[in-house]
Chain A
């Protein structure tokens, strides 16, 4: 096991203890807070397990909208560039199809970290506070 995997497993064990041993004894606001903490731990574990992979998937998708020069930029810079270009209308009309495909990759990559249940059942159960304290 890599250090990342081990740390993710550690978080998972701690989260199980929280959910199975502590949460049943809590009610109301305290229970809600504990559910939020458990959710934070799950997010952190997923970042350790899949963060690099999802970041790279998103970066590749956004870079694919540009030529090689801009395509080499790191994700944050690419995202800024793309946001600005969309606002300026550079993706209006025909390029919109490719743009939407790339944005869908971005959304799926981020859902894999924030709320993977929605990837399994698009249009499924989570809504409202779903991603805060399932």
Chain B
């Protein structure tokens, strides 16, 4: 970040928090997702609601982002709603739709401690020993998110679908077509999931990327849920399926709830907190859908690299995840036939 941008950002932060002045002491890049960029800020505020020296996180879009994710300004509005509902999230501080200060729209939230990397979390000895506690906390948070129902005027940019599953199938076909992909295994999965789509009993706010790797853990306990850019109105089982799907266990295949612990422990905690009964067969359907979704996103990410929009070895290698995801997908479809 160049000096003029730092000054403009400090001035923006001072005004947004009612401070007389703000000084940017330090800016460091945080490991972020493939879709956005995160920077840690250390800011000294004089006066205002954050008076003192504070650690904040600034989040902007990566140079090119993939179609299904929201931009930062929409994500901020979702984060605010979750914060007000009492969900464990970093406190939203300010948003800036004007690209002026740093050249791109961004928002700022409170910096929180903890580990987010999935591979570290599933190998953390405390998590391995007390995974049930973490699962129960996650289940309660998810149940809380799922109490938010449409319509919500502040989320007017989220469309309310008639049915959750057919909407996803339309979306995923659209993404495949947008990059001119000819993928017989994914087409077969789309066709099967289309023909067996369950009706959704209700539509709620789903996080949309609720999985190990997208929450902060410290000393084995949940600190906060991150990465709200895929939130939408959908079937609550979509979040549960994404969390439990085989592709998000970071090598801890036998711990079926996010590589953390037992699936039934997680599901029972969710049932207790939400008052819903989780239909296990329908959950399997949504796990298949989750695997399909990751496969489609992996293709989109690989395409970003191939098209030259964003050259990255990690994005390029994402394409090589496809055959493994396809193997999972066929296994899920076979299990669904047998149910």
Using a CB–CB distance below 8 Å, which chain A residues touch chain B? 29, 33, 36-37, 39-40, 43, 62, 76, 79-80, 82-84, 86-87, 89, 91-92, 99-100, 103-104, 106-107, 110-111, 113-115, 118, 122-133
- B322–A125 touching, CB < 8 Å: no
CA distance in complex: A52, B62 (Å): 37
Task: Determine the main DSSP class of A at the interface with B.
Answer: helix
Enumerate chain A residues within 8 angstroms of B331, measured Cβ to Cβ: 123
Q: Is residue B152 contacting chain A, with contact meaning CB distance below 8 A?
A: no
Enumerate chain B residues within 8 angstroms of A89, measured Cβ to Cβ: 191
Enumerate chain A residues within 8 angstroms of B246, measured Cβ to Cβ: 127
Enumerate chain B residues within 8 angstroms of A39, measured Cβ to Cβ: 317
Nearest chain A CB to B310 CB, angstrom units: 15
Using a CB–CB distance below 8 Å, which chain B residues touch chain A? 31, 118-119, 173, 182-185, 187-188, 190-191, 195, 213, 246-251, 253, 259, 313-314, 316-318, 320-324, 326-327, 330-331, 334
- B314–A83 touching, CB < 8 Å: no
Enumerate chain A residues within 8 angstroms of B191, measured Cβ to Cβ: 86-87, 89, 91-92
- A131–B324 touching, CB < 8 Å: yes
Pick from B119, B185, B247: contact of A106, CB under 8 Å: B185
- A131–B187 touching, CB < 8 Å: no
| A/B interface sample: 20 pairs, CB < 8 A | A29-B31, A40-B317, A80-B182, A83-B182, A83-B184, A91-B191, A92-B191, A103-B185, A110-B323, A110-B326, A111-B323, A111-B327, A115-B321, A118-B323, A122-B327, A123-B331, A124-B253, A127-B251, A128-B247, A132-B317
Enumerate chain A residues within 8 angstroms of B334, measured Cβ to Cβ: 100
Pick from B182, B185, B247: contact of A127, CB under 8 Å: B247
CA distance in complex: A106, B313 (Å): 25
Question: Known: A36-B313, A37-B313, A86-B191. Is A128-B118 also a contact (CB below 8 A)?
Answer: yes
Enumerate chain A residues within 8 angstroms of B190, measured Cβ to Cβ: 87
- B321–A86 touching, CB < 8 Å: no
Task: Determine the main DSSP class of B at the interface with A.
Answer: helix
- B185–A107 touching, CB < 8 Å: yes
- Which residue of chain B has its CB nearest to the CB of A43? B320
Enumerate chain A residues within 8 angstroms of B313, measured Cβ to Cβ: 33, 36-37, 40
Pick from B183, B188, B259: contact of A99, CB under 8 Å: B188
Pick from B184, B318, B327: contact of A118, CB under 8 Å: B327
Enumerate chain A residues within 8 angstroms of B324, measured Cβ to Cβ: 111, 114-115, 118, 126-127, 130-131
Enumerate chain A residues within 8 angstroms of B247, measured Cβ to Cβ: 127-128
CA distance in complex: A89, B194 (Å): 11
Enumerate chain B residues within 8 angstroms of A132, measured Cβ to Cβ: 314, 317-318, 320-321
- B320–A128 touching, CB < 8 Å: no
Enumerate chain B residues within 8 angstroms of A133, measured Cβ to Cβ: 317
Enumerate chain A residues within 8 angstroms of B318, measured Cβ to Cβ: 132
CA distance in complex: A113, B317 (Å): 12
CA distance in complex: A82, B186 (Å): 11
Enumerate chain A residues within 8 angstroms of B250, measured Cβ to Cβ: 127-129
- Which residue of chain A has its CB nearest to the CB of B323? A110
Question: Known: A87-B191, A107-B323, A111-B324. Is A128-B119 also a contact (CB below 8 A)?
Answer: yes
CA distance in complex: A39, B316 (Å): 12
